[in-house]
């Protein structure tokens, strides 16, 4: 408690300057210690919005909204009486008077001042850097500006910097449809995180995505036209690069100008100097945390996890608890342009007398290196392309793993590979580096605090609430600890069913149950019987029934009777719902082969209905912008021309991609187009736990990218090689070889067996890649079952597939020929002829795009007293 000049007690005030991720964590730490109840807390935020997840910033370009990125719970701010001023940065600090003055003129007296001003992007001092079309990549506002400029006047973009944010920025430009270049002065991408081998693997993968990389060269000048708009770049190697937009992502610098202006000491290369309690060395009333702080060990930490630790330390010190920040783990795991990249410990082998264990697969874009001490201890490592083992390996850093290093880097399914589970980790191993949560703390949450689920452990320990890379390991630890304590872990599908998806499949197959309601009434949990089910089990059981439809006497048409009510939004309308409420239509084009006449029909349909057209990655044409009442009219035109549903909306086979094969290509050794068409027509409409993708390459050059598919086929001089369990999606995985040199008949028979075994045993929404790694025995077990018939079920698997093939019906054609079903395709049931007024479009590049506001958040102070929540006076 302090007193004013008249001796009247006043509430001590904490002023936080900056409200980013670290600033928000500081507020939470204050609340946890009860300081928000005993202190007035004022936050001055420069950005026009409160704290958001800057780590996931690029996800904005994949559809995540600014609201979804927010880390600020308005109720938290309100409940703790925090005064949060957005868009009103601090401009003057008077340390003698202990006051902070904001841009709006608001002046606040403080007892404790915490600087969390973060960092600013470094822009090289090159001529032309201020030209129209030059941007930095740091805030949501930066992204909005980049998006608006790129969509209005750019076709080519360049990113200066090939580090973490540089690659994210490049991914954003590519996602906006720009031909994209990356310019990196260092000889490799991500020079801080990866070594030469890792950089080479990353380079091959990124170039394979269509981006152009220029390493070992710098930017000398930004070229502009007479109006001052960017037209190109001059590089240090003498070359020039034509570009319409330049994004600088060449590193960051601590934002320490406020500290400099008020006389606080800063480091030679920037950063506000602080001690181990995060208190500035020049003033005990002022703290600095996050990227603006130069820690006691002489380092500015640019990762969120150390910033969180500093926030905890500062809050603890203010609460007069003992705490110290003495350094932090710099391990990182990221997904850049869809590629997993991770480094941990002494990744570059700086420790004297160490050895490297390296596994590299250039074709798959995979690189793994472990740094091992002479005593066998794991010192660090680098993982590119496959970072699934990151959590386990990082936790073993500093100790001797229970198996040899070679076994840890070999890919799953290879002879000597060993996949260590979390149970092998010591209790001291840090599982969540964002919040410094150990395995022992997680076990304690289960054993000592009676947590019985991952959400409960998250709430108790904060593990898994940061970047999220530890959630998978967290779930395994929680399950293992519950089972070790004798607690029966509920592995049921949901609250309605105690059985797993695999068990429900077996029940439906054995008892010929072809109704969801019958399944629920007979096998649902006691409280669920006679009810309506839930959003988890309804589509899951619907998928099982659809997969087994011909065998168990059910309709394979998903809009028949009870089935219609079980589908999700996409299956409800046999089309993919888009962000503005319109739908996309994807006709099947088997193998990517199409006649000129059919191409003309697609063009005419797109023109007549005003649809946006896009060639997909699976060799199809996507038609966007259809209103729900237009869908049957579009399908009728396409069906008349010989097209059918491509099932882009369902958990079913999507495409079988192909190269041109031996018919046209001088390298081809088999007819890949014919095989792709045969396979796509055979497996079309096959409902499964998750979507299925396939490809057929006519030779080992692999132009169809078959090894990134759920099942992929590569031609050899002796027949076909079959690969399974690949995935090019959110968690890329290289497919494993199941069998080689197969005849046409052998290939089809093995695919039949593989797909039906996967459908039979996989969990809900489980891709083949995840299933293959989860199922006991992995690839070897699957090979024993589907090739050697070790379980004696291959005959049954083949008959199930034969029944599917014989019972296939096109869902579009079935729908347009059923007047009753057509009644569902309206925007408003009570006004069927009225189109949805919310569905709107604006022109772009001679086509259309959804008419959506770029930003729906607005919190900008108009007067000094404009506060988001809380009270200006306490």
247 contacts 284 by C-beta, under 8 angstroms = no
Structural domain of 347: 329-420
What DSSP state is assigned to residue 663?
Answer: G
pLDDT at site 338: 66
Q: What confidence tens digit (pLDDT) does each residue in 216-258 have?
A: 999 999 999 999 999 999 999 999 999 999 999 988 899 999 9
| Distance from C-alpha of 532 to C-alpha of 525, rounded to nearest angstrom | 12
d(CA 684, CA 672) in angstroms, rounded, equals 18
Arithmetic mean of pLDDT, 620-625: 92
458 lies in the same domain as 520: no
Mean pLDDT of 15-22: 96
**Structural domain includes residue 861:** no
* DSSP string covering 125-191: --TTTTSBTEEE-SSHHHHHHHHHHHHHH-SEEEEE--SHHHHHHHHHHHHTT-EEEEEESSSSSST
Provide the whole-model pTM.
0.57
Q: What is the pLDDT of residue 866?
A: 39
Task: Give every strand in the sheet of 621-626, ordered side by side.
Answer: 576-577, 583-585, 621-626, 612-615
| Higher-confidence position of 341 and 759 | 759
Q: Where are the beta strands (DSSP E) in 539-686?
A: 576-577, 583-585, 612-615, 621-626, 653-658
Highest mean pLDDT among 354-368, 551-565, 695-709, 835-849: 695-709
The Cα 644–Cα 638 span in angstroms is 7
Give per-residue pLDDT as tens, 402-454: 878 777 777 655 555 566 667 777 787 778 877 778 888 999 988 888 888 77
Does the pLDDT at position 1 exceed 60? no
CA 500 from chain center: how many Å?
Answer: 27
In contact, 844 and 612? CB cutoff 8 Å: no
- Could you tell me if residue 694 is inside a domain? yes
Q: Are residues 641 and 696 in the same domain?
A: yes
> Is the confidence at residue 23, as pLDDT, over 80?
yes
Give the tens place of pLDDT for each residue, 522-547.
Answer: 999 988 888 888 878 888 999 999 99
With 0-12 / 13-18 / 19 or more C-beta atoms within 10 angstroms meaning exposed / middle / buried, residue 130 is: exposed
pLDDT tens digits, 156-202: 999 999 888 888 889 889 888 899 999 999 998 888 778 888 888 88
Is there a single domain that holds both residue 214 and residue 160? Answer: yes
Q: Within a domain: residue 496? A: no
User: Is residue 830 in a domain?
Assistant: no
Whether 451 is covered by a domain: the verdict is: yes
User: How does DSSP assign 325-371, residue by residue?
Assistant: -------EEEEETTEEEEEEESTT--SSSEEEEEEEETTTTEEEEEE
Q: For the segment 777-809, what is each residue's pLDDT rounded down to a tens digit? A: 889 899 999 999 999 999 999 999 999 999 999
For the domain that residue 429 is a member of, what is the CATH number?
1.10.10.1100
**Is it the case that residue 54 has pLDDT exceeding 60?**
yes
Q: Of 629, 617, 647, nearest to 829 (Cα)?
A: 629
CATH of the domain at 592: 3.30.413.10
Whether residue 828 is predicted with pLDDT greater than 90 in this model: the reply is: no
Last residue in a domain, options 807, 826, 852: 807
pLDDT at position 22: 95
Work out the number of other CB atoms within 10 angstroms of the CB of residue 830: 6
pLDDT confidence band for 829 (50 / 70 / 90): low
Residue 434 burial (CB count, 10 A): 25
CATH number of the domain at 279, please. Answer: 3.50.50.60
Q: Determine how many CB atoms are found less than 10 A away from the CB of residue 168.
A: 23
What's the pLDDT at 396? 82
pLDDT of 104:
95
Do residue 298 and residue 169 come from a single domain?
no
In this structure, the answer to whether residues 261 and 287 fall within a common structural domain is yes
Token duo for residue 869: 């929540």
Residues 176 and 206 occupy one common structural domain: yes
**Higher per-residue pLDDT: 457 or 488:** 457
Q: 691 and 681 in contact (C-beta within 8 Å)?
A: no
Q: What is the pLDDT of residue 180?
A: 93
Burial pattern 333-361, b for ≥16 Cβ within 10 A else e, equals bbbbbebbbbbbbbbbbeeeebeebbbbe
Q: Please state, as a whole number, how many other Cβ atoms lie within 10 Å of the Cβ of residue 263.
A: 11
Lowest mean pLDDT among 65-69, 520-524, 677-681: 65-69
Domain with 397 in it: what CATH number? 3.30.390.30
- Domain-ending residue, one of 807, 831, 846: 807
DSSP SS3 for 513: coil
Of the pLDDT bands very low, low, confident and very high (cuts 50, 70, 90), residue 858 is very low
Q: Which of 140-154, 571-585, 847-861 has the highest mean pLDDT?
A: 140-154
pLDDT of residue 849: 85
DSSP symbol at 763: P
pLDDT in tens, 690-716: 999 999 999 988 999 999 999 999 999
Alpha-carbon gap, residue 505 to 560, rounded angstroms: 20
Q: At what angle do helices 794-807 and 778-786 cross, to 10 degrees?
A: 80
Task: Tell me which residue has tokens 């202990």.
Answer: 98
Is residue 669 in some structural domain?
yes
CA distances from 740 to 373, 504, 659, 682, 805 (A): 40, 34, 19, 21, 25
pLDDT greater at residue 804 or residue 829: 804
DSSP 835: P
What is 73-96 written as a DSSP string? -HHHHHHTT-EEEET--EEEEETT
- Say if residue 165 is in the same domain as residue 188: yes
- On whether the CB atoms of residues 181 and 206 are closer than 8 A, the answer is no
Q: How far apart are CA 305 and CA 299, in angstroms?
A: 14
Average pLDDT over residues 560-568: 73
pLDDT at 571: 81
Query: In angstroms, rounded to a whole number, what is the distance separating the alpha carbons of residues 667 and 561?
Result: 51
- Cβ-contact 748, 679 below 8 angstroms: yes
In this prediction, what percent of the chain has a pLDDT beyond 70?
Answer: 92
Residue 30 lies in a domain: yes
**DSSP states along 665-701:** -TT--S-HHHHHHHHHHHHTT-B-SS-EEEEEESSTT
- DSSP-derived 3-state class of residue 108: strand
825 in a structural domain: no
pLDDT of residue 113 exceeding 50: yes
What percentage of the chain exceeds 90 in pLDDT? Answer: 51
Same domain, 743 and 635: yes
User: Do the Cβ atoms of 471 and 501 come closer than 8 Å?
Assistant: no
Q: Which of 299, 318, 337 is the last residue of a domain?
A: 318
The span from the CA of 95 to the CA of 91, in Å, is 13
pLDDT digits (tens, 9 = 90+) for 126-149: 999 999 999 999 999 999 999 999
Regarding whether 438 and 412 lie in a shared domain, the answer is no
Number of domains in the chain: 6
Q: Work out the number of other CB atoms within 10 angstroms of the CB of residue 89.
A: 18
Segment 284-300, tens digit of pLDDT: 999 999 999 999 989 99
Average pLDDT of the chain? 86
Per-residue pLDDT, 867: 43
The pLDDT of residue 521 is above 50:
yes
pLDDT band at 277 (very low <50, low <70, confident <90, very high): very high
Residue 17 · residue 258 · CB < 8 Å = yes
173/180 Cα distance (integer angstroms):
6
pLDDT digits (tens, 9 = 90+) for 740-758: 999 999 999 999 999 999 9
Domain match, 658 and 629 both:
yes
221 shares its domain with 363: no
pLDDT value for 579: 67
**10 Å Cβ neighbour count for 851?**
12
Q: What is the pLDDT of residue 107?
A: 96
**736 and 636, same domain (yes or no):** yes
């Amino acid at each position: 408690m302090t007193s004013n000049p008249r001796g009247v007690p006043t509430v001590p005030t904490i002023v936080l300057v900056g409200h980013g991720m670290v600033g928000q964590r500081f507020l939470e730490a204050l609340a946890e210690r009860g300081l928000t109840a005993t202190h007035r807390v004022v936050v001055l935020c420069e950005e026009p919005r409160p704290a958001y997840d800057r780590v996931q910033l690029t996800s904005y370009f994949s559809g995540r909204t600014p609201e979804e990125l927010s880390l600020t719970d308005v109720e938290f701010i309100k409940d703790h009486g925090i005064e949060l001023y957005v868009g009103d940065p601090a401009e003057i600090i008077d340390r003698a008077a202990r006051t902070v003055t904001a841009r709006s003129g608001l002046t606040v007296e403080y007892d404790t001042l915490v600087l969390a001003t973060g960092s600013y992007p470094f822009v090289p001092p090159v001529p032309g850097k201020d030209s129209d079309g030059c941007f930095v990549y740091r805030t949501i506002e930066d992204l909005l500006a980049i998006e608006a400029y790129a969509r209005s006047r750019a076709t080519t973009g360049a990113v200066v910097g090939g580090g973490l944010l540089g690659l994210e920025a490049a991914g954003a430009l590519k996602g906006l449809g720009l031909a994209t270049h990356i310019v990196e002065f260092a000889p490799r991408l991500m020079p801080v995180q990866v070594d030469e081998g890792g950089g080479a693997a990353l380079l091959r993968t990124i170039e394979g995505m269509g981006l152009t990389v220029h390493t070992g060269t710098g930017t000398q000048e930004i070229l502009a036209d007479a109006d001052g708009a960017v037209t190109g770049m001059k590089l240090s190697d003498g070359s020039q690069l034509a570009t319409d937009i330049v994004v600088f992502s060449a590193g960051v610098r601590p934002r320490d100008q406020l500290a400099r202006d008020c006389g606080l000491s800063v480091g030679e290369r920037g950063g506000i100097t602080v001690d181990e309690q995060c208190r500035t060395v020049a003033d005990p009333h002022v703290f600095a945390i996050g990227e603006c702080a130069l820690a006691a060990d002489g380092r500015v930490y640019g990762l969120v996890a150390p910033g969180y630790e500093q926030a905890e330390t500062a809050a603890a010190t203010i609460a007069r608890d003992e705490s110290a920040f003495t350094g932090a783990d710099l391990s990182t795991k990221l997904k850049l342009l869809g590629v997993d990249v991770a480094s941990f410990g002494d990744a570059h082998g700086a420790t004297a007398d160490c050895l490297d264990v390296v596994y590299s697969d250039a074709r798959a874009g995979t690189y793994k290196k472990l740094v091992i001490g002479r005593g066998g201890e794991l010192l660090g490592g680098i993982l590119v392309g496959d970072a699934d083992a990151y959590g386990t390996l990082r936790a073993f850093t500093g100790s001797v793993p229970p198996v040899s290093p070679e076994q840890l880097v070999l890919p799953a399914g290879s002879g000597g590979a060993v996949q260590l589970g979390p149970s092998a980790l010591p209790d001291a191993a840090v599982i969540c580096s964002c919040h410094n949560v150990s395995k022992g703390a997680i076990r304690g949450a289960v054993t000592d605090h009676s947590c019985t689920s991952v959400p409960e452990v998250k709430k108790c320990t904060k593990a898994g609430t940061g970047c999220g890379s530890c959630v998978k390991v967290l779930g395994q630890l929680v399950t293992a600890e519950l089972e070790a304590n004798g607690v029966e872990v509920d592995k049921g599908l949901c609250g309605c069913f105690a059985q797993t998806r695999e068990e429900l499949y077996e029940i439906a197959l054995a008892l010929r149950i072809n109704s969801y309601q019958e399944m629920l009434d007979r096998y649902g949990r006691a409280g669920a019987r006679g009810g309506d089910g839930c959003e988890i089990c309804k589509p899951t059981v619907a998928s099982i029934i659809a997969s087994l439809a011909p065998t168990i006497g059910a309709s394979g048409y998903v809009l028949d009777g009870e089935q219609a009510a079980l589908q999700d939004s996409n299956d409800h309308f046999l089309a993919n719902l888009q962000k503005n409420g319109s739908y996309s239509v994807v006709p099947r084009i088997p193998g990517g082969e199409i006649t000129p006449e059919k191409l003309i029909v697609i063009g005419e349909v797109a023109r007549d209905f005003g649809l946006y057209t896009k060639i997909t990655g699976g060799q199809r044409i996507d038609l966007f912008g259809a209103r729900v009442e237009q869908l049957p009219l579009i399908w009728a035109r396409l069906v008349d021309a010989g097209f059918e549903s491509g099932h882009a909306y369902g958990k079913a086979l999507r495409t079988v991609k192909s190269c041109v094969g031996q018919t046209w290509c001088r390298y081809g050794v088999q007819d890949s187009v014919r095989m792709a068409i045969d396979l796509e027509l055979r497996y079309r409409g096959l409902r499964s736990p998750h979507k299925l993708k396939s490809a057929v390459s006519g030779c080992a050059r692999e132009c169809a990218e078959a090894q990134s598919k759920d099942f992929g086929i590569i031609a050899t001089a002796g027949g076909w090689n079959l690969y399974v369990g690949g995935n090019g999606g959110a968690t890329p995985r290289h497919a494993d070889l199941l069998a080689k040199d197969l005849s046409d008949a052998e290939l089809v028979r093995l695919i039949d067996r593989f797909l039906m075994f996967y459908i039979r045993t996989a969990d809900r929404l489980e891709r083949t890649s995840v299933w293959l790694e989860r199922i006991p025995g992995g690839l070897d077990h699957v090979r024993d079952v589907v090739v050697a018939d070790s379980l004696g079920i291959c005959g049954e698997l083949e008959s199930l597939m034969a029944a599917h093939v014989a019972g296939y019906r096109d869902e579009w054609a079935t729908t347009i020929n059923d007047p009753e079903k057509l009644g569902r395709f309206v925007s408003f049931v009570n006004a069927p002829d009225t189109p949805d007024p919310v569905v709107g479009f604006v022109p772009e590049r001679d086509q259309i795009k959804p008419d959506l506001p770029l930003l729906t958040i607005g919190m900008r102070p108009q007067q000094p007293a404009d506060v988001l929540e809380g009270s200006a006076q306490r």
